[in-house]
Amino acid sequence: MPLADLGPEIALIAGALAALLMAMALPQPRLGLCLWPALAALAVAGTWAVAQADAARLTFSGVWALDGATLWARILIVTATALCLILAPRWFATDRRHGEFYALTLFSALGAIAMAAAADLLQLVMAVLLSSVTGYVLAAFHRDWALSVEAGMKYFLIGALANALLVIGAILVMGMAGTSDYAALARTDLGQPLALAGLALIVAGLAFKLGAVPGHAWMPDVAEGAPVPAAAFLTVVPKIGAALALFRLVQLFPEVEMLRPLIAALSVATMTLGNLAALWQDDLRRLLGWSSVSQSGYALMAVAVADLAPDALPALLWFLAAYALANVTGFAVVAQLRGRTALADYHGLIAARPGLAAALIVALLSLTGIPPLIGFTGKLELFVATLDGGYGWLALAAVANTVLSLGYYLRVIGPVCFAAPEGPPPACLSRAAGAVALGSGAAVVGIGLFAGPFLARAAGAVVLP
């Protein structure tokens, strides 16, 4: 067991424990200091992950994959987690349990990384459970607010069912194949009905973490009711881990004919349902939640053509990076405006808070896929990979849904730019939250303009076994 192979994950555990110990010792007004060991752990984890960038092997008896997919998952999850945590100190300034938030978030990030790196069904199950259990608490962290409690309960109830299906599916596949190891499963014939049923249940269980049909219903409630730093985290980080876990699983079984059509059908259902539901929302956070559901549908396009298109994995990695950056930007703007969520609160924001308005606009346009923003290259890569994989009808459905999504994004952008402001300029949360909103918004533009080197790096990623 070469512990250095899991250095980034060990750093997250150490940071979580340090934050928790500080939370036990510090007085309530100083609990924001727990942010610093968490950020230090994330910095160490990211640096260690980059040092392992060229690794391509299975480790810890074959249950953990060190490859390009794991590297990107580590970098994306560490970066998104750091941005979300920076929003937390001022948001939770009066919360007596504030210090625990940092430890829970790091443990949840660890679960997401473990999902992406899992090369064994039992490892995958443990990773999903770790991400889920901590996520339930994060969603309901404002326990005195009915919406937060409702979000946590819905997340828990749907998660309990989805995780049970995942475990049953893993048991069926293991029972029929005689192994839980991915490398061995790739050499096993899983044409038996029970094994196929098990694979379908595993897909359903991972769809819950991805926020895709049929496990999608928690996403808009968590986006609306969870604390904004937690909502930003839960709508991004588990999705990264689940998408890569599902990709890793699907590419093991190119001979299972029903698997890819199932993923493609879920992709269309997810993006269509998310976009249609978002059209009717008058709450920005809930709109972002349904938007996150639709983005899961786009991510599933790359999963459907895993091993069919050579650029399927790079397309998925780049799309996840684009989505994570844009979605965190949107929630950072909400946090900086102290949680204002009614669309009417954003009327004339371009005149009252031009920087925040610009960040919100580029985030929404990037989620749509408008050039030259990072979201454009993310969706373009997905469409090309899907066409190369022979799923032209799926690419056509995604284009139609992209046009549809522009309708509800413009419902926000139009009043932000052209409506008259209602009342005085909205109060802001903190300089740190403003820096996250403006910095990540600038990155949406900058990385979109200079995406070439990043895309070249993603093109070299491999997925094991």
CA dihedral of 304, 305, 307, 308, whole degrees rounded to 10: 140
Q: What is the pLDDT along the chain (465 residues), one digit of tens a residue?
A: 789 999 999 999 999 999 999 999 999 999 999 999 999 999 999 999 999 998 999 999 999 999 999 999 999 999 999 999 999 999 999 988 889 999 999 999 999 999 999 999 999 999 999 999 999 999 999 988 999 999 999 999 999 999 999 999 999 999 999 999 999 999 888 888 999 999 999 999 999 999 999 999 999 999 999 999 999 999 999 999 999 999 999 999 888 888 999 999 999 999 999 999 999 999 999 999 999 999 999 999 999 999 899 999 999 999 999 999 999 999 999 999 998 889 999 999 999 999 999 999 999 999 999 999 999 999 999 999 999 999 999 999 999 999 999 999 999 999 999 988 877 888 899 999 999 999 999 999 999 999 999 999 899 888 988
Ranges of each domain in the chain: 6-459
CA distance 427 to 416: 16
Tokens of 157: 């109830």
What's CA 78's distance to the chain center, in Å? 12
SS3 string, 190-259, reads CCCHHHHHHHHHHHHHHHHHHCCCCCCCHHHHHHHHCCHHHHHHHCCHHHHHHHHHHHHHHCCCCCCCCH
- List, in sequence order, every residue forming a beta bridge with 181; answer none if it has no partner: 120
218-225 and 121-139 helices cross at what angle (nearest 10)? 40
Nearest to 391 by CA among 264, 248, 256: 264
- List, in sequence order, every residue forming a beta bridge with 59; answer none if it has no partner: 64
